[in-house]
Chains A and B, each alone.
Chain A
Amino acid sequence: GNSVTQMEGPVTLSEEAFLTINCTYTATGYPSLFWYVQYPGEGLQLLLKATKADDKGSNKGFEATYRKETTSFHLEKGSVQVSDSAVYFCALILQGAQKLVFGQGTRLTINP
């Protein structure tokens, strides 16, 4: 079946640290890949996406590259801020499908 696995959280970093949140997937086809972010008390918001192998999605200083050979879509940011504290979800959708498949989420806390 189709699934998404994220690194276990919670993750706690200091401000200006480098961030990596790992995401790997299993899919019976060629999925599009997404990172969603959920700030405290809010719904999810699309952070970035990539629709084919070697595509790089980027937004707000975050980046993720679609690696077909390693079935991965790791989220990175060079210098995190306190305002980046949130829960991050990796997700996929197969071409032609109606439904997103989410990972379990990774809670990120940035300390000043």
Chain B
Amino acid sequence: NAGVTQTPKFQVLKTGQSMTLQCAQDMNHNSMYWYRQDPGMGLRLIYYSASEGTTDKGEVPNGYNVSRLNKREFSLRLESAAPSQTSVYFCALGRTDTQYFGPGTRLTVL
């Protein structure tokens, strides 16, 4: 996971609260991704960014927003958290043939 940092590592929210998950890289990759991991469902793509200033929806974007203000950082925001958003969130980056994943953020929404 060297080169990809995620903060925080753990978070507990109440329904309706907001928060931002941060991802930063020092690997100089253009493409960055946000996934969620749920038991028995593998990883599902929430949003991705092919380059600074651009973002696109993935498989499960509802309830999330993202921001890619510079090449190094890609943030994921939950405006009004719901229990269905309880999950482990992974940031990833890299070329299409090799992706590098961060250590993850474990989010619980009560």
Contact = CB atoms under 8 A, between A and B. Distances in A.
B99 A100 contact: yes
Interface residues of B, number: 25
B31 interface: yes
B48 interface: yes
A44 B50 contact: no
Interface stretch (A14-22, A45-53, A66-74, A77-85): A45-53
Contacts, number: 56
Interface string B79-110: 00000000000101000111111111000000
A98 B42 contact: no
Contact of A93 (B44, B48, B97): B97
B1 interface: yes
A24 interface: no
B78 interface: no
Contacts of B50: 98
Nearest to B31: A98
Contacts of A44: 43, 90, 92, 99, 101
A102 B43 contact: yes
Given A99-B48, A99-B58, A100-B99, A43 B43 contact: no
Interface of B: 1, 4, 31, 33, 40-45, 48, 50, 56, 58, 90, 92, 96-104
Interface of A: 4, 32, 36, 41-46, 49, 51, 89, 93, 97-100, 102-105
